[in-house]
Amino acid sequence: MRKIKAVLFDFDGTIADTEKIILDSWQEVFRRAEGIERPAEEIYKTYGEPLFITMQRFFGEKADEYIKIYRDYQSTIFLDEVRMYPGVEELIKRLKSKGYMAAIVTSRLKKSTYEILDKYGLADIFDVIITCEDTEKNKPDPEPALLALERLKIDPQNAVLIGDSSYDMGCGLNAGVKTVLVGWSVSFDEALGYNPDYIIEKAEDLEGVLEALC
């Protein structure tokens, strides 16, 4: 019997190439707030963390003000600029054809998550979609992954979580699922200590990981 029954996918930086969109949105905030841009590497380390938490850390009680600037700016560009990473769409379809369940576990808002999925006709392919609005706690807390597992009706040992950030790896580790880090993104921070079980460089490499776990 197959051990792994489901794959939990992060969204930004894993399925959808939104790295530049997010970076540009943050730089617009810093230009408005501080009159200068910040180093990209500083911003990359926040990828995968819920926006409100990062904004609170940077701006404290003004977080809501700058969230609005961020989202207003991003809303003008993201649907035109967002792309799927090479091979990921095909991978998800192959996994589904082989009988795996697929879920999204993201720190993005529900509205923009579905807008991107609808653009590429992918919303209906996922069995479960968990956004930051579905849980009280967010990555690296296990709650988002555990909620996905609950809705899929499977145990942690029967799933893997694939993502690009330390927050993703922490969420999977804390939930008791195997973790897979993608090598096509920029946001993993070794300093946070959430080391992945596997690293892949191409989307199709995930199938080899799943076979090894059978």
The set of catalytic residues is: 10
DSSP states of 158-179 as a string? GEEEEESSHHHHHHHHHHT-EE
What is d(CA 189, CA 196) in angstroms, rounded to the nearest whole number?
A: 11
**Contact criterion met (CB below 8 Å) for 25 and 43:** no
CB atoms within 10 A of CB 170: 22
Q: How, if at all, do strands 16-17 and 198-200 pair? A: unpaired
What is d(CA 27, CA 43) in angstroms, rounded to the nearest whole number?
A: 9
CB atoms within 10 A of CB 18: 22
**Contact criterion met (CB below 8 Å) for 196 and 180:** yes
111-135 b/e (C-beta count within 10 Å ≥ 16 → b): ebbeebbebeebeeebbbbbbbebb
**Contact criterion met (CB below 8 Å) for 17 and 112:** no
